[in-house]
Chains A and B, each alone.
Chain A
Amino acid sequence: MSSLALQRHATLSHLDWLESESIHVLREVAGQCANSALLFSGGKDSLVLLRLAEKAFRPGRFPFPLLNIDTGHNYDEVIDFRDFRACQLNERLIVRSVEDSMRRGTVVLKSPGESRNKHQSVTLLEAIEEFGFDCCIGGARRDEEKARAKERIFSFRDEFGQWNPKNQRPELWSLFNARVHKGENIRAFPISNWTELDVWQYIEREALDLPSIYFAHKRHVVRKNGLLQPVTKLTPAREGDVVEELSVRFRTVGDITCTAPVESEAKTIAGIIEETATTNITERGETRLDDQTSESSMEQRKKEDPF
């Protein structure tokens, strides 16, 4: 049996380690990329990214603007919070909208009420071209879905924005390679190694403010396939639906038409952490109405260029 010696030197707690790695990644983007942007939705993961960017670059300003791809299918609370936070940080926020792409004819919907999640990629590519971004920083995590487990921290996209599993660069130690030719793009994911629980623990530790819909509130919902479909202007109750008023919160905030809340009484971060640590359903499985179609749907979407 090996000798498992007591630690001789101080080491970091798991949250400190994750934070430090994420700061390192953000600074590598700043050091290697000439013209990057941070994808900011107002959701919890991107709010964590903003705090990490503050830790990475203050007292300086961020070396990149914030970029939001607005689907037009967002809860007002989230959009208001997005604008408030960008203003509070005194950082530049660029908003590009899927509805503008629809007007241009570059996004064509199959049905008027459909989820616009997958269409965001078109608008994002248009924004990348408009501003000449060589890197977009996103808040995706490897624990979100099986197909993401092999995603790189610096993920390469060709000039069509395509992610190709065969064309990804090996990542060794913490030596990242963000070099691209003109037109190509890197997606950098500083919180790749975080889990949902890590995110909530960090939000608690840093006392980060969140849009109100992350906390338990009363909402009219309809039960569908084991998920709760909120009753909204975009998703009205249909004939025969049984509308209930429940105490719910959102685990993720995305396109209204495909993001389901969960039943919850958690009105504080501590309450959410307790529920997250004891839940037995994954974040996507519980909240993504569009993810249940196929075990491989993420992979399909990845090939079509997700974030």
Chain B
Amino acid sequence: MSAIERLPEIDNGLLRFLTCGSVDDGKSTLIGRLLYDTKAILADTLHAITRTSERRGLEAVDLSLLTDGLQAEREQGITIDVAYRYFTTGRRKYIIADAPGHEQYTRNMFTAASTANLAIILIDARKGVLTQTQRHSYLAHLLGIPHIVVAINKMDLVGFDRATYERIRSEYREFAATLGIGDVSFIPLSALDGDMIVDRGDRLGWYQGPTLLDILESAPSAHSERDERFRFPVQFICRPQKSGHPRLHDYRGFMGRVESGEIAVGDEVRVLPSDQRTRIKAIEVYGRSLPRAIAEQSVTLLLEDELDVSRGDMIVRAEESALATRRLETMLCWLGETPLDPQRKYLVRQTTRETKAVIESIVFRLDVNTLQQVPAARLDMNDIARVCFRLAQPLCVDKYVENRSTGAFIVIDETTNSTVGAGMIL
């Protein structure tokens, strides 16, 4: 079936998901298979990888070549960064974040997981739950990905054996329970041959559950599952008084994106950190007035009263709790090649606000393989640690487990301007 035949169906929005696993687990093959079976791969691309497969002396077309990115790493045969892929089923658009699985690449997985609402964790059916499976699961959980799909791959290499699948499933469940991971789906598949990806195939007849694509099609998208408090970080202020148009002389629009919750005209709000109160006079997008705005919508808010509001301020509902703080307790992943130096000052950027910060303490470093807490005097690239910051200016924050937008921050090194850390507020 071509994409067009499926186009006019209902629009089930967009789902961002992450695939975790190493090259050996068949991750690139799985992604290639998803793209190929949903017709996201066009003839010339397929032709190019067919030629490459032939040149390498492979018997079948190597679908993993679809996703291997830059020339240098193709030559090295490894993947070293996060790549984003796209496909649509007509009902839903998908963005895949493809990150390499090796321990050295924790920062890549951290990056990929930060925007994902679902994670596919690949397990080689011959190998079962490995250290890296546990590491990936922990990171997906830490990054607050609400849905985890454990794909037990290479079922073709274990004779499509049900007992093998069930053994791995109970092993994983046992370990997931210790982490507090709740929502896990399991699926047996063969990415190489395509069984249970888009089509069921006829060799896994004992498995009655949905195919991988069915799981993706019905997974809830971000923000749809829980009530969240309204959070609106002000990005930009629109003051078009110079346009000469009399209607616009006193226009002051506060532009930004609803990070969570929703708001309607007439609602009472507070502006943080100054804590001024007013009401929503209007919600606009491009000259159109809206009665309300929902999570992830970029809008312009007009307020009843003339308040002093600038970029970096946060608009919240008057009656809902919100915290402005100068101290952060966080889980931090160090991304920079230069180690974190606790003596130095860094910049912390959270929502649309930026402030200088000092390290109060590194409480412990977490060994991502054993989940042991170990003391640390500094942090190297890919390290994850519990770190406390003191801030020069207050930030309006939520706990990351309650809000993945207002609970997240990055750390910038002012000398290089690089992004050197990423963290979640506890």
Contacts and interface: CB of A to CB of B under 8 A. Distances in A.
Are these two chains actual partners, yes or no? yes
B14 A278 contact: no
B27 interface: no
A238 B249 CA distance: 62
A45 interface: no
B224 interface: yes
**Residue of A2, A16, A143 with most chain B CB atoms under a 10 A cut-off:** A2
Given A13-B11, A14-B13, A285-B45, A20 B110 contact: no
B184 A2 contact: yes
Interface residues of A, number: 73
A54 to B, nearest CB: 6
B240 A9 contact: no
Interface string B207-223: 00110000100111111
A197 interface: yes
Interface in A11-70: 11-21, 23-24, 27-28, 30-31, 54-61, 63
B44 interface: yes
Contacts of B114: 172-173
Nearest to A9: B224
A56 B298 contact: yes
B157 interface: no
Interface string A178-221: 01110010000000110101100000000000000000000000
Contact of A9 (B85, B223, B298): B223
A274 B6 CA distance: 11
Contacts of A9: 223-225, 227, 262, 294-295
Contacts of A3: 183
Contacts of A277: 2-4, 7
Contacts of B111: 170-172
Contact of A12 (B240, B253, B297, B349): B297
Interface in B27-53: 42-45, 48, 52
Nearest to B112: A172
Contacts of B107: 170
Interface string A274-307: 1001111110011000000001100100000000
B401 to A, nearest CB: 15
B4 A2 contact: no
B3 to A, nearest CB: 5
Contacts of B227: 9
Contacts of B14: 12, 14, 17-18
Given A173-B114, A173-B408, A177-B410, A61 B13 contact: no
B204 interface: no
B422 A170 contact: yes
Nearest to A194: B86
Contact of B220 (A7, A16, A195, A296): A7
A173 B404 contact: yes
Interface stretch (A73-81, A102-110, A113-121, A146-154): A146-154
A27 B410 contact: no
A20 B185 contact: no
B93 A198 contact: yes
Contacts of B76: none
B78 interface: no
Contacts of A236: none
A96 interface: no
Interface of B: 2-4, 7, 11, 13-14, 42-45, 48, 52, 66-72, 81-86, 88, 92-93, 95, 98, 107, 110-111, 114-115, 147, 183-185, 209-210, 215, 218-227, 235-236, 238-240, 243, 245, 248, 251, 253, 255-257, 262, 285-287, 294-298, 311, 335, 349-352, 404-405, 408-410, 412, 417-419, 422
